[in-house]
Chain A
Amino acid sequence: MIELALQYLLSRRRQTILTLLGIFFGSAAFVTISGLMLGFREYIINQLVNNSGHVHILARKEFLTEHSLDESWYGKAFEHIFWKVPPSGRKDSAMVENPQSWYTRLNKDPRVVAYSPQLTASVIVSNGKATAPATIIGCDPLAQKRVTTIGEYVIEGNFNDLALGGNKLALGDELAKELGATIFQTVQVSLANGMPSPFKVVAIFKTGTKQMDNVAFGAISDIQKVNQTPNQVNEITVRLYDYTQAAMLADSWSAMSFEKVESWDQQNGNIFNVFKIQDAIRFLSIGSVLIVAGFGIYNVLNMTVVQKRKDIAILRSMGYNTYEIVSLFFSQGLLLGVTGAAFGLFFGYCFCLYLQTIPFAGGPLGSGSGHLIISFNPRIYVQALCLALMSTSIASILPARAAGKLTPLEIIRAGAE
């Protein structure tokens, strides 16, 4: 019956092509839009995953509740304590309490690639008359390079030189511009109310993310000195072999320690919500294109069934059964869907290839690569095909079943006119 269905379609080329167009545009649009959205998403996730490590072990921030101070003030003397002004506020512990125990734990864990202890401080950097507030991250430069991708973004100098000690600094590109600082220059770094200390710029990096490019890196020991907090660490960044395990590991570490442990995806939960909304919009908008296309197929098939009543009668009189008649019309719909989707996918793929070549500078999107990032994830193509087939199947089954119900008798009688 498929052969006959194909012959029907080929003999009505114009109508066939018009009907195909709906499915074609639907699936092409799906592939293109998904390619763009998911490409962007993969880029963002890649940035999140690689740029700042997979798991962050942070000094805990504890919020006081009405009863958190009861015991320390009154011990067990009272069962109920009522405060006129209940305690509130934040109990900050600015550091990771026992970094050594973390180091031993992380060293033993086979899932950990590397970790880098950090001390982050807010400082003022000045170069002659130019001053700028900045965040300075003290780290173990070699470990930092293994944990994050910072090494890849160095445009001048050498990040490893930080490890030499003696007040060396790696500046973000934006910050360097703001200060008018160039490589191998010496700049002054000071706490808000402290004495400035000279630091030599040994590297300049450019990640393309404004926030990141306003940061400076130094060796952790140097920063601890400037901050007057020797041996203090306020974050340990960890890189895992499998970044998808990050949330799970973070939860389990968090449960057995005092520190706040967060994975890259937990830290960026809001972005994942945005992704969900994007997905909803993507499926809804393309879904509606495909619904319209489905209606097109439905109408055309309904019309065909009416036009082909005599054919149905003659086929039935030859002994073709209901099922064969249903499949004759159903396969017409399906053929339309499959070819429309095939062309749509192919065109969408080509269009994505083309989009990839468009130069796209500026913004966090185009930064690294200088052109649009498009996803060619096979899942997109499978989803597009499934959506197209679903809409055509639903659109075809009703007319096809109606055709199957026609009996030869009523048509032969009516067909005489």
Chain B
Amino acid sequence: MGIIAKNIGKIIGEPPTRILTDINLEIKSGEFVALTGRSGSGKSSLLYLLSSIDVPSEGTIELEGHNIKKIKKKVLYRFRNEKMGFIFQFHYLIAELTALENVLLPTRKFGYEKQKKSYAADLLKQVGLENKEYRLPRQLSGGEQQRVAVARSLIMEPQYIFADEPTGSLDSINGDMVMNIIRDANEKLGTTVVLVTHDPDFAQEAKRQVHLADGKIV
């Protein structure tokens, strides 16, 4: 199982611009893949395609053996909720909710909030925020907020984590902390990780590096 991209290309914008060309990539279950490349090379675009947030203009993507264009929306959304975790460069916490509530947000969809509450507290503890569960995002530093976002991506114990430069806005201490959590998830829980980064040190952590240039794998 895993994700397989076959000959995918992506054309966007007006006038139409090609941003990805003929990508073939297989991400096996349990793998830790880093997508690297210069700014503008198409890393984020590829990540959105692999994570089914976006659909390719050409080629097909198979998610656990199913063509994502043919999966029913309902099934896809459930899959995204239960099996995928996202971390973005900017944390995207909901300002009205406390750290703990933000972590629990994905569990609300199917009403697992109560069952997951102690696990959420546990995750916050793992990211070093054990005394800050009831703070609102604005009462946390940028690094702390990103750690909340990391905890949130793990709350459903997903099979996949997609991270788009999760350390981009962090200092090295916070950056290391976030990377450790992601690595732990991969090593201890067997979570498949697709990580976009332009930091060579973090890319080294991955078991496989995929390098992009001008929308192509090189």
- CB <8 Å contact, B92 and A415: yes
Interface residues of B in 25-83 (CB under 8 A from A): 44, 48, 53-54, 73-74, 77-82
The answer to whether A317 touches B86 (Cβ under 8 A) is: yes
Are A320 and B96 neighbours in the complex by a CB distance under 8 Å?
no
CB pair B74–A321 under 8 Å, yes or no, is: yes
**A314 contact set on B, CB distance < 8 A:** 86, 92-94, 105
Give the distance in Å from the alpha carbon of A311 to the alpha carbon of B91 in the complex.
11
Inter-subunit contact B80/A318 (CB<8 Å): yes
Whose C-beta in chain A lies nearest to the C-beta of B73?
A321
Asked whether any CB of chain B lies closer than 8 Å to the CB of A315, the reply is: yes
Is the Cβ of B88 less than 8 Å from the Cβ of A3? no
B136 (CB) vs chain A CBs: closest residue: A11
Q: Does A409 contact B (CB under 8 A)?
A: yes
B64 CB → nearest A CB, Å: 15
How would you classify the secondary structure of chain A's contact residues: helix, strand, loop or mixed?
A: helix
CB-CB < 8 A to B170: which residues of A?
none
**8 Å CB contact of A319 from B81, B94, B96:** B81
Is A151 interfacial (CB 8 A cutoff)? Answer: no
Flag if B96 contacts A317 (CB, 8 Å). Answer: no
For residue A317, which residues in chain B have a CB less than 8 angstroms away from its CB?
53, 80, 86
The CB with the most chain A CB atoms within 10 A, among B73, B89, B95, is that of B95
Report the Cα distance A365→B130, complex, angstroms: 70
A-B pairs under 8 A by CB, number: 59
Is B97 in contact with A320, judged by CB distance below 8 angstroms?
no
Q: Mark A308-341, 1 if CB is under 8 A from B, else 0.
A: 0011011111111100100000000000000000
Residues of B within 8 A of A319 (CB): 77-82, 84, 106, 109
Q: Would you call B108 an interface residue if the criterion is a C-beta within 8 Å of the partner chain's C-beta atoms?
A: yes
Asked if B90 lies at the interface with its beta carbon under 8 angstroms from chain A, I say yes
Cβ-defined contact, A7 with B106, below 8 A: no
Asked whether any CB of chain B lies closer than 8 Å to the CB of A368, the reply is: no
* B107-148 residues at the A interface, CB under 8 angstroms: 108-109
The answer to whether A311 and B54 have CB atoms under 8 Å apart is no
A366 at interface, CB cutoff 8 A: no
- In contact, A7 and B78 (Cβ under 8 angstroms): no
Which of B48, B80, B84, B89 lies in contact with A409, CB distance below 8 A?
B48
Q: Count of chain B residues with Cβ under 8 Å from any Cβ of A?
A: 28
The one of A310, A324, A409 in contact with B92, judged by C-beta atoms closer than 8 angstroms, is: A310
User: Does A303 interact with chain B (Cβ within 8 Å)?
Assistant: no
Measured CB to CB, the closest approach of chain A to B206, in angstroms, equals: 22
Q: Is A408 an interface residue (CB 8 A)?
A: yes
Please tell me which one of the listed residues A11, A320, A408, A416 contacts residue B53 in the complex, with CB atoms under 8 A apart: A408
CB-contacts of A285-324 with B (<8 A): 310-311, 313-321, 324
Cα–Cα, bound, A415→B48 (Å): 15
Within 8 A of B (CB), among A360-417: 408-409, 412-413, 415-416
A4 touches B86 (CB 8 A): no
Query: A409 touching B94 by the CB < 8 A rule?
Result: no
In the complex, A158 Cα to B126 Cα: how many Å? 94
Query: Residue A415 contacts which of B79, B82, B90 (CB distance < 8 angstroms)?
Result: B90
Of B53, B81, B92, B108, the contact of A4 (CB 8 Å cutoff): B108
A324 CA / B73 CA spacing, docked (Å)? 13
- Taking the closest CB of chain B, its distance from the CB of A189, in whole angstroms, is 83
User: In the bound complex, do residue A318 and residue B105 qualify as a contact, i.e. CB atoms below 8 Å apart?
Assistant: yes
The one of A3, A311, A321, A416 that contacts B90, using a Cβ cutoff of 8 Å: A416
The answer for the CA separation of A10 and B97 in the assembled complex, in Å, is 11
Contact B96 A8 (CB under 8 A): yes
* C-alpha spacing A416/B44, complex, angstroms: 12
Is A320 touching B77 in the complex (CB atoms < 8 A)?
Answer: yes
Q: Which residue of A lies closest to B93 (CB)?
A: A314
Q: How far is the CB of B120 from chain A (nearest CB, A)?
A: 14
Complex alpha-carbon distance, A319 and B79, angstroms: 7
Residues B96 and A7 in contact, CB atoms below 8 Å apart: yes
Q: Can you give 16 contacting A-B residue pairs, CB < 8 Å?
A: A7-B96, A7-B101, A8-B96, A311-B92, A313-B92, A314-B93, A317-B86, A318-B81, A319-B77, A319-B106, A320-B109, A408-B53, A413-B44, A415-B92, A416-B89, A416-B90
Which B residues lie at the A interface, using CB under 8 A? 44, 48, 53-54, 73-74, 77-82, 84, 86, 88-90, 92-97, 101, 105-106, 108-109
Supply 11 further A-B pairs (C-beta < 8 A) apart from A311-B92, A319-B109: A4-B97, A7-B97, A11-B95, A314-B92, A314-B105, A318-B109, A319-B81, A319-B106, A320-B77, A321-B77, A412-B88
